Amino acid sequence: MEFSAGEVVTLFLIGAVGSMISGMVGIGGSIVKYPMLLYIPPLLGLTAFTAQEVSAISAVQVFFATLAGMLAFRKGGYIHKE
């Protein structure tokens, strides 16, 4: 699946806005971003994602967020390799 520049920008904006809303409300990001990824791209005339694709996108986002958090904790000295 190839994405045009407009689709990449749209996905980035959905992620940024969804993250901002979930951070302000204090809930998990996937609760906000899952419906946004499912319904907003077709409204803008872009490729519609299936529920399975949206779940996979959410899983990848969670993986990288967890990885970044783990590396930050390790750099801060909160995780010891012993």
The predicted structure's pLDDT at residue 4: 84
E-strand stretches of 1-82: none
Q: Measured between alpha carbons, how far is 16 from 37 in angstroms, rounded to an integer?
A: 12
For residue 13, is pLDDT > 80?
A: yes
3-state secondary structure of 36: helix
Over residues 30-79, the pLDDT tens digits come to 888 899 999 999 999 888 899 999 999 889 888 998 999 999 998 998 87
Q: What is the pLDDT of residue 63?
A: 92
Evaluate whether residue 80 is within a structural domain. no
pLDDT the model gives residue 57: 87
Q: Domain range holding 46?
A: 5-75
Q: How many domains does the chain have?
A: 1
**In this structure, is residue 24 part of a structural domain?**
yes
Residue 81 in domain: no
